[in-house]
Amino acid sequence: MLRKLLLAVLFAFIAHSAHAVCTPISSLSLVAGGPAVHVSIVDQACNVIAPSPLPNPTNVGFINLINANGFFTIVADATGFNFTGLQALNSGSAAPRYTNGTASITGAPMAIVITSGVTAIQVISP
């Protein structure tokens, strides 16, 4: 009985993990000066489309950047893109684009919000 229960839990975990890998996102929250957040662009079957050639890929990337200049950077790597917040931003966005020869497909824009690294202050006495 315990073995069946453990197998059921393991199967549910694997099924959930596989689904989580391909859950689309519609927004990205960054912290100014904080660590980069990695995203990947996938096709309809959830296969990652690797940026190529690096460091300036021509097959996939982001277009229609709103409020990008000075607020965030996008750097390609072998499996996707690293977004880094530079300063606080209330409303920005970027749309993914795939190009194969003469055909291009543009995905839904992703909202980008960047919070300040300092979100509250207080006075203390040691």
The whole-angstrom separation of Cα 108 and Cα 8 is 36
Q: Coil, strand, or helix at residue 114? A: strand
pLDDT at 20: 52
Q: Reduce the secondary structure of 60-75 to three states and give it as a string.
A: EEEEEEECCCCCEEEE
Class of CATH domain 25-115: mainly beta
pLDDT at 93 over 60: yes
Domain residue ranges of the chain, discontinuous segments joined by +:
25-115
Residue ranges with strand state E in 7-88: 27-31, 37-39, 60-66, 72-77, 80-85
**What are the tens digits of pLDDT across the range 4-61?**
444 444 444 444 444 456 899 999 999 999 999 999 999 999 999 999 999 999 999 9
